[in-house]
Structure 1
Amino acid sequence: MPVDQPMKLTMLMLLVPLLLSYGIGSGRCSTVPDNSTDLHALLDFKNAITNDPTGVTSIFWNDSIPYCQWKGITCSQRHPGRVTTLDLTGHGLSGPIAASIGNLTFLRTLDLSNNHFFGQIPPLGNLHKIQGLNLSVNSLEGNVPEALTNCSSLLSLDLSKNILVGKIPAKIGLLPNLSILILSSNNITGSIPSTLRTIPASIGNLSSLSALGLDSNNFTGTIEWVGKLNNLQVLNLGENNFIGSIPPSIGNFTQLTNLYLQNNKFEGPIPSSFGKLSQLSKLNLSYNNLQGNISIGINIPTQPFELSLSSNKLNGQIPDSLSQCQNLATIELDQNFFEGNIPISLGNLSGLILLNLSHNDLSGTIPTSLSDLPLLRRLDLSYNHLYGKIPMHGVFANTTTVSLNSNWGLCGGAMDLNMPPCPPVSRRTERKNHLVKILIPIFGFMSLVLLVYFLFIVRKKARAKYTPFTSFCENFLKVSYNDIAQATRNFSEYNLVGRGSYGSVYRGKLKEQKMEIAVKVFDLEMRGAERSFLSECEALRSIQHRNLLPIITACSTVDSTGNVFKALVYEFMPNGSLDTWLHHKVDGKTPKRLGLNQRISIAVNIADALDYLHYDCGRPTVHCDLKPSNILLDDDMTALLGDFGIARFYADSLSISTGSNNSVGVKGTIGYIAPEYGRGGHVSTSGDVYSFGIVLLEMMTGKRPTDSMFKDGVDIINFVEGNFPQQIFQVIDDHLMEECKDFPQAKQEAENAVYQCLVSVLEVAISCTRPLPNERMNMKQIASKMHAIKTSYDERIMSH
């Protein structure tokens, strides 16, 4: 039946919207077809996020635009609607990573780094196309999933700076295309899987590996497995527990640019094959037990080069061949046993920025050629046996960049160095000096022979009770009881600084030396006071470090009434103790609060001091009483550790403990004592680690471990652990939150920097306070981590 014209018009008007709607919908689908699997996976991921400070998902991921246009999302052109990239790095996102991410089967790049994701890594074994996986700088925990080994297309895997534990999955060495593997800064333990070390078929599969980062974990064993990774450009195994010698085969890695093996337990010599590493720009072998001399300098690269061999047992002379490395920018040879003169040829290194030769046995004069180095910004020659006139120009003109402490014969130089003036030199004196240079080695040898003989006789015959104290005092300033009484105004209450377990501490000033001092006077009527005095003398007799409280002298005599008098005299620390800054007022006024950077610097100082005591002072020493009141602050707010009254030598404490069921009795301060001491355990360096962890928690929370809030099973450790890492702002000192106000133009970035820093510090503290000693890191690892935290925080704050 024919349709009339009005009816046709009506039908057309009804059809147009439908056709337009279909056309628009079809157009959209043809541009970005809807894929329900990928869309639902993304929505599940979004819904699992608990905090989104930048709004990247809560604002920009919405139904008004296709999901392929969401921020951080890229879809395939060949397969429209399939997600190939998910990149949300650095948005401060919190929450678990939803397991649905594993359904994005076309994903080639997943980058969620620099956020606050927590929980376990989700199962990603179905992502067979993924090439780049970066989950670094988060708070992910648990094991490295075995399922990752199914991601056969992986080129780069970065899981660094999380809280991962357990061992590396054995099959990870079978990933055929893997070229970058970074698992740094976790708590991964055990030895390297056999599939990586026995990285033939397995090593062949990983022969294209160009970067391997396993630093800041707890790996053990030797590293001979590294020998066939010839394409490596970056190798970072630092801050672990690797042992044995450094394989000479590393010298065959001709493309190697960065080699980090610091903070391990490597022994033996530095392989001479390292001279073939012509592309090397950074070599860090510090904090190991390497021995022998160094011959580095042949074939060193043309680019700026950083060389760090600090804190080993290297000896011999510093080779002139170093001067062949014209682009050396950093030389750190401190805390070794180098001897002889400082090579004049070092003055040819025009690109040198940092030179640290401190804590060695160097002698002779300071080469004036060092003052001609145009870029030198830091020079440390302290704790050697240098003598003669200090140069006046170049780096020596800026006393804030040069350190020359504890060199017995230096004179002159810039006025701010406070060195004695140099005497005028006549020709006769010059001849005498020349003669002295000849005779010193001769008399030195003879003295050594006599010293050995003397020590042999003394060990056999000496019975005197105070022999350790006598030898201790011979090289220190002589003061009498009257000198100390006069300096402290007869020990007046006005000069009283504080009271300790075995006596009192007074402030004073030695009139003749015009020196401000702190005098620790022992109350010998108290049981254990005399033993404490002798322990502290013995501990301080042979140790010296920039972060240990400098002792001026010890005094053992009688007072004006004929009673025995014993005291220790220290440099006075004008800023008092850390305890005062954290909890009390100074001179009736509230002090300026410690900022986060200051607190981290103090923690780094104390970590360095304990590292030195445990590993580098010749005879491992356990402090036994680490707490804020024993941490003093000088006028630059540098922290110095004091009070060695109950310190123990590690080897001695072991023999005492095992021989007499801990008859000495472990002492310390309630709240800071390691739990194993309460169970009768012997003194160990792990006890100091525990105390350091408690001090770190106290510095970050502003609360003592004995605070009244800690009761009914709650202590400072589980108080922090229960809020870590998501809710740490609930437990830290409120004054630290004010740090962000100083960065009005980059508030969010500053908050992120503060947050990341706090997470890292509290992570170290929690690791230090594990209940079992073998679960804790050692102080060498801790010191390295604290330095890394400080460097990272400084860089992030300065960049904003």
Structure 2
Amino acid sequence: MLLKTWPDLVISESCRVKLQFCHTSEPQSYAMKLSVLIVLALLLFSYGAGTSVCAVLLGNDTDMLSLLDFKRAITDDPKGALSSWNTSTHFCNWQGVKCSLTQRDRVETLDLSQQSLVGQISPSLGNMSYLASLNLSGSKFSGQIPQLGRLQELMFLDLSYNSLQGSIPVTLTNCSSLRVLDLSRNLLVGEIPAEIALLSNLTRLWIPYNGLTGVIPPGLGNITSLEHIILMYNHLEGTIPDEFGKLSKMSNLLLGENKLSGRIPEAVFNLSLLNQIALEMNMLVGSLPSNMGDGLPNLQLLFLGGNMLDGLIPDSLGNASELQQISLSYNSGFRGQIPPSLGKLWKLNKLGLDGNSLEANDSRSWEFLDALSNCTLLEMLSIYGNRLQGVLPSSVGNLSSNLDNLVFARNMLYGLVPSSIGNLHRLTKLGLEENNFTGSIDGWIGNLASLQGLYLQQNNFTGQIPSSIGNNSQLSELFLANNQFHGPIPSIFENLQQLSLLDLSYNNLQNHIPQEIFRVATISQCALSHNSLEGQIPYISNLQQLNYLDLSSNKLTGEIPPTLRTCQQLQAVNMGWNFLSGSIPISLGSLSSLIVLNLSHNNLSGSIPIVLSELQLLTQLDLSDNHLEGEVPINGVFKNTSAISLKGNLRLCGGVVDLHMPSCPTVSQRRSRWQHYLVIVLVPVLGIISLILLVYFTFFGKRMLRMQLSLPSSDERFFKVSYKDLAQATENFAHSNLIGRGSCGLVYRGRLTQDHMIVAVKVFDLDMQGADKSFVSECKALRNIRHRNLLPILTACSTVDNRGNDFKALVYEFMPNGNLDTWLHLAGDRNARNQLDLSRRMKIAVDIADCESPIIHCDLKPSNILLDYDMTAHLGDFGIARFYMKSKSAPAGDSSSIGTITLKGTIGYIAPEYAGGSYLSTSGDVYSFGVVLLEMLTGRRPTDPMFCDGLSIVNFVRRNFPDQILGILDAYLVEECQVCSRANLEEENEVHLKPLKN
């Protein structure tokens, strides 16, 4: 009877199931059953009467069931990490599982890091009550963090580098033994629970690279054991808690790339164990304590860039002797001199001071450069966008032999680049752009054999591009644009086989384009525009990385190379403003990546290839001012009339309705029209032309020749043009060439055939009252003004037109970038607005302010400020200008010697006193200039509808300055600051985490 009922001896129901698994319905021998009973009795005797039979026979299976639940939630195991998880092996021997030595069959550690597991984390892990360490980092877990609050023994939790979502569970703060919490690089949102302050044993809190919001819990300052607080790359707001100043064991405080505001608690700078402080890319304000370097003996990394800090860089920073990396870039508020004490930081390898207002203008303020020569480990020195002035000292060549990154761009440096810079043989990046350096670069460039990036654009370098640049065989980026280089492009590019970006535009380069440029397989962007290059375009083939090609505004001839089709990555091609001939190659239709194609202002003929309409990505197409003919396609880019320009091609027809092209004739119509032309038109027209010429020269010849503007004999540089020349240049003053309207006439774009020159022709409407006087006034002004950025006048014409009417015009250099008003108010054109960054706006303001002989312009406004190829501003429209002739006897400050005139100018820019009949004065132009500056900074016209009921742009800015200044600035300027800061500081942030994981 006992043998039949032995399973009833099992105490728990779960264990009954286990034992029944071993019991089958098949007959068993009496001896076997007896053996089972004996073993069971011995186990009971050994473990005591109070012990569960199930626990004795099979062990505690809670952890095993939890692990199996975890495995069932995994949908992909690419590395086979869980392949050993089966019943044939005890779970304590499964991969990643480690059981306790004191509590048999209880899991103490689960480590499946870097296994790329896919699925969700099973909440059953919360049942493993003896679990002390859980590491599931480096996988692809999704879903929410499970409830693990019952794990009272848990000390280490790492769920980093996954795709976990939702908020941080508050119950996680019940894990009272937790010392390390790492949730970095997930998709977590919401606030950091304030209850996290209850984790009194916490030493490391890592939650960077998530989407957390809210404030940093001040209670963290009460966890005296905290050593690491790493919360960077979130959306946290508010201030840095003052309580952090009590964390005496703190070694790493990384809060960068959030939205933190307010001041940095001064007590933080007294935490002597601090190793890294990274608070970059926030909105922190205030100045740094003068003694901050005295209390940080262990500090190695200081990143405070991309904030709104101000004041001086503390001289005491040189006392933080362990400092290796300093970044104070893009605060704008740091001013004064760079302290020479930084030269005491013998371990310094990186110093970034970009985008501030730091100054150096004499030998004393340049002492920092001499001092930095003591930093023998220095690898990067970047002082981009400050106020360094004068000649770059030759001591720059004494900097560390380890230096690989040197940047002095966008300062106010001039003169020659010291040849000693060639001593820095390990330089990989040299940035000297946007200064006023002059002279040749031949004396030092060939010595920098390790260079990978050379940035010399927007200076005044002269001479030829030296062939010694071929020694820089590792060059990948070469920018020499906007200088005064002349002569041929050297044929040294076969030595630059790693070259990717090449920009030689806006120079005076001549001769042919070397074939070697297009033999560099790695080249992706090539800009040679706005030079005087001539001859045919070299053979271009199989440049698989080429995506941008700009050869515009040169003197290139011949046909477009059909082999261009092999450059399959091309996205933008600009060959406009040359003398190219032949037809548009059909092969261009195979460039499936093409977005922009500009072939305007050439001598191209034939029809438009219909294959261009099949390019799905093509969004900008300019074929204007050629000799194209035939039917315009109607599909693809040709459907969007705002995306194409076909003007100046008089023989084109058809196309979509909005193009307003003439209809294309049928074959029979063409034949009959040709015959009609020969018989009916051609013969009579010869007689008519003869008659017209006879009448014209009889009655109007003398009047036509009576007046060709006589310019002063001392100005022989002005050439003469006739009415016919100007009419031909502007296609008979066609509406399509109209580029502006003034109070006294119209402005047309034209191309003078005799000089192949693009010009702007200002034609005065002499039927308007005062137009004739305005012409004389402007001629007088242009003859007498000494302004370095006066709109360049080429010549003037005062004659009669083909009808015998008086004709007066001024011919200026063409300003391809239009006027400032258009750039400031191009609604919706983000690319255009982004190009007008703060530095360009400041440069424009300086360009128009300088004038040696004072003149009262009377109509200073953005539409009268013209921009040339490199965005240099030129002042135009002097039609109502008055010369300022201050009496020697007039009291200081009196500028009222010019009589009053009828109120002229533009509403919004006119000085208020003029409305009351005040005398004209230079003060009136100063007021107008001030309004223009405010318009450039706010992006609002003074006639904006918001300025009403006594509110003007002037008092609008005055009311909001300085507290709300960011709220009234042009949104594009605010965005520029953020984007620029992010781009220059983002590369610094990844370094924070590398040394800390260990």
- Asked if these proteins are the same fold (TM beyond 0.5), I'd say yes
Q: 1:419 maps to what in 2?
A: 532
Paired AA for residue 383 in structure 2: L
For residue 335 of structure 1, report the CA deviation from its aligned partner: 2.9
1:219 matched to 2:450: no
Q: How does 1:605-624 map to 2 (within 5 A)?
A: 606-613=837-844
Q: 1:511 maps to what in 2?
A: 753
Return the match for 1:102 from 197, 200, 224.
Answer: 197
SS at match of 1:344: coil
User: Is the 8 Å Cα contact of residues 396 and 402 (structure 1) preserved in structure 2?
Assistant: no
Q: 1:366 maps to what in 2?
A: 465
Return the match for 1:230 from 318, 321, 346.
Answer: 321
**Counterparts of 1:309 and 1:275, CA distance in 2:** 16
For residue 105 of structure 1, report the CA deviation from its aligned partner: 2.6
For residue 103 of structure 1, report the CA deviation from its aligned partner: 2.5
Change over 3 Å in CA distance of 1:267–1:795 after alignment to 2: closer
Return the match for 1:188 from 284, 287, 292.
Answer: 284
Change over 3 Å in CA distance of 1:187–1:373 after alignment to 2: same
For residue 125 of structure 1, report the CA deviation from its aligned partner: 1.2
Q: 1:755 maps to what in 2?
A: none
Change over 3 Å in CA distance of 1:489–1:148 after alignment to 2: same
User: Is the 8 Å Cα contact of residues 475 and 496 (structure 2) preserved in structure 1?
Assistant: no
User: Is the 8 Å Cα contact of residues 608 and 783 (structure 1) preserved in structure 2?
Assistant: no
**Counterparts of 1:793 and 1:527, CA distance in 2:** 59
For residue 366 of structure 1, report the CA deviation from its aligned partner: 3.2
Return the match for 1:59 from 123, 132, 144.
Answer: 144
**Counterparts of 2:182 and 2:837, CA distance in 1:** 40
Cα deviations by residue, 1:43-78 (Å, 9 ceiling, x for unpaired): xxxxxxxxxxx996843424699695683499xxxx
1:691 matched to 2:939: yes
User: Is the 8 Å Cα contact of residues 281 and 981 (structure 2) preserved in structure 1?
Assistant: no
Change over 3 Å in CA distance of 1:559–1:283 after alignment to 2: farther
Cα deviations by residue, 1:139-187 (Å, 9 ceiling, x for unpaired): 2222222122222222111222222222211211111211111121222
Q: 1:351 maps to what in 2?
A: 450
Cα deviations by residue, 1:504-548 (Å, 9 ceiling, x for unpaired): 56454332344556667687969999999999999996469xxxx
User: Is the 8 Å Cα contact of residues 487 and 508 (structure 2) preserved in structure 1?
Assistant: no
SS at match of 1:128: coil
Paired AA for residue 419 in structure 1: S
Higher helix share: 1
Return the match for 1:254 from 341, 346, 354.
Answer: 346
Return the match for 2:250 from 145, 154, 161.
Answer: 154
**Counterparts of 2:224 and 2:274, CA distance in 1:** 13
Change over 3 Å in CA distance of 1:511–1:404 after alignment to 2: same
Return the match for 2:733 from 483, 491, 513.
Answer: 491
Q: 1:738 maps to what in 2?
A: none
Q: 1:338 maps to what in 2?
A: 437
For residue 205 of structure 1, report the CA deviation from its aligned partner: 2.9
Q: 2:550 maps to what in 1?
A: none
Normalised by the size of structure 2, how large is the TM-score? 0.49
**Counterparts of 2:988 and 2:288, CA distance in 1:** 32
**Counterparts of 1:110 and 1:393, CA distance in 2:** 55
SS at match of 1:328: coil
**Counterparts of 2:785 and 2:205, CA distance in 1:** 54
Paired AA for residue 514 in structure 2: A
Gaps of 5+ in 2: 17-50, 67-99, 109-122, 127-138, 161-167, 361-365, 516-527, 536-710, 852-858, 879-883, 885-892, 897-903, 910-926, 947-959, 990-998
Cα deviations by residue, 1:311-350 (Å, 9 ceiling, x for unpaired): 2233443222222211111112233343343243321211
**Counterparts of 2:894 and 2:265, CA distance in 1:** 40
User: Is the 8 Å Cα contact of residues 770 and 776 (structure 1) preserved in structure 2?
Assistant: no
1:198 matched to 2:291: yes
1:210 matched to 2:289: no
Rg (Cα) greater in structure = 2
Cα deviations by residue, 1:178-231 (Å, 9 ceiling, x for unpaired): 1111121222222113xxx222xxx44312111111112222211123221221
SS at match of 1:274: helix
For residue 8 of structure 1, report the CA deviation from its aligned partner: 13
Change over 3 Å in CA distance of 1:107–1:414 after alignment to 2: same
**Counterparts of 2:399 and 2:466, CA distance in 1:** 24
Q: When the two structures are aligned, how many residues end up with a matched partner? A: 602
Return the match for 1:280 from 366, 378, 397.
Answer: 378
Change over 3 Å in CA distance of 1:573–1:477 after alignment to 2: farther
1:129 matched to 2:225: yes
For residue 122 of structure 1, report the CA deviation from its aligned partner: 2.2
User: Is the 8 Å Cα contact of residues 387 and 409 (structure 1) preserved in structure 2?
Assistant: yes
User: Is the 8 Å Cα contact of residues 232 and 255 (structure 1) preserved in structure 2?
Assistant: yes
Change over 3 Å in CA distance of 1:232–1:505 after alignment to 2: farther
Q: How does 1:316-335 map to 2 (within 5 A)?
A: 316-335=415-434
**Counterparts of 1:93 and 1:500, CA distance in 2:** 59
Normalised by the size of structure 1, how large is the TM-score? 0.60
Return the match for 1:83 from 178, 181, 193.
Answer: 178
SS at match of 2:428: strand
For residue 23 of structure 1, report the CA deviation from its aligned partner: 5.8
User: Is the 8 Å Cα contact of residues 263 and 781 (structure 1) preserved in structure 2?
Assistant: no
**Counterparts of 1:116 and 1:136, CA distance in 2:** 10
User: Is the 8 Å Cα contact of residues 552 and 569 (structure 1) preserved in structure 2?
Assistant: yes
User: Is the 8 Å Cα contact of residues 610 and 779 (structure 1) preserved in structure 2?
Assistant: no
Q: 2:626 maps to what in 1?
A: none
RMSD of equivalent CA atoms? 5.9
Q: How does 1:640-659 map to 2 (within 5 A)?
A: none
Change over 3 Å in CA distance of 1:154–1:231 after alignment to 2: same
For residue 630 of structure 1, report the CA deviation from its aligned partner: 10
For residue 244 of structure 1, report the CA deviation from its aligned partner: 1.3
**Counterparts of 1:508 and 1:100, CA distance in 2:** 73
Paired AA for residue 238 in structure 1: S
Change over 3 Å in CA distance of 1:388–1:494 after alignment to 2: closer
Paired AA for residue 169 in structure 1: P
**Counterparts of 2:254 and 2:963, CA distance in 1:** 27
Cα deviations by residue, 1:683-735 (Å, 9 ceiling, x for unpaired): 3755423219x9xxxxxxxxxx99xxx9xxxxxxxxxxxxxxxxxxxxxxxxx
1:375 matched to 2:474: yes
Change over 3 Å in CA distance of 1:338–1:793 after alignment to 2: closer
User: Is the 8 Å Cα contact of residues 817 and 866 (structure 2) preserved in structure 1?
Assistant: no
For residue 495 of structure 1, report the CA deviation from its aligned partner: 3.4
User: Is the 8 Å Cα contact of residues 532 and 645 (structure 1) preserved in structure 2?
Assistant: no
Return the match for 2:159 from 71, 74, 83.
Answer: 71
Change over 3 Å in CA distance of 1:286–1:538 after alignment to 2: farther
Change over 3 Å in CA distance of 1:139–1:474 after alignment to 2: farther
Change over 3 Å in CA distance of 1:527–1:127 after alignment to 2: farther
For residue 135 of structure 1, report the CA deviation from its aligned partner: 2.1
Gaps of 5+ in 1: 34-38, 43-53, 423-468, 545-550, 584-593, 669-678, 695-704, 711-766
For residue 613 of structure 1, report the CA deviation from its aligned partner: 3.0
**Counterparts of 1:785 and 1:237, CA distance in 2:** 15
Change over 3 Å in CA distance of 1:322–1:62 after alignment to 2: same
For residue 778 of structure 1, report the CA deviation from its aligned partner: 12
SS at match of 1:246: coil
Cα deviations by residue, 1:268-296 (Å, 9 ceiling, x for unpaired): 22531122222111111122222343224
**Counterparts of 1:474 and 1:263, CA distance in 2:** 46
Structure 1, 356-365 or 341-350: larger mean CA deviation? 356-365
Change over 3 Å in CA distance of 1:80–1:493 after alignment to 2: closer
**Counterparts of 2:824 and 2:849, CA distance in 1:** 30
Q: How does 1:237-316 map to 2 (within 5 A)?
A: 237-239=328-330, 240-268=332-360, 269=366, 270-291=368-389, 292-298=391-397, 300-303=399-402, 305-316=404-415
User: Is the 8 Å Cα contact of residues 397 and 414 (structure 1) preserved in structure 2?
Assistant: no
Q: 1:726 maps to what in 2?
A: none
Higher relative contact order (CA 8 A, sep 6+): 1
1:112 matched to 2:112: no
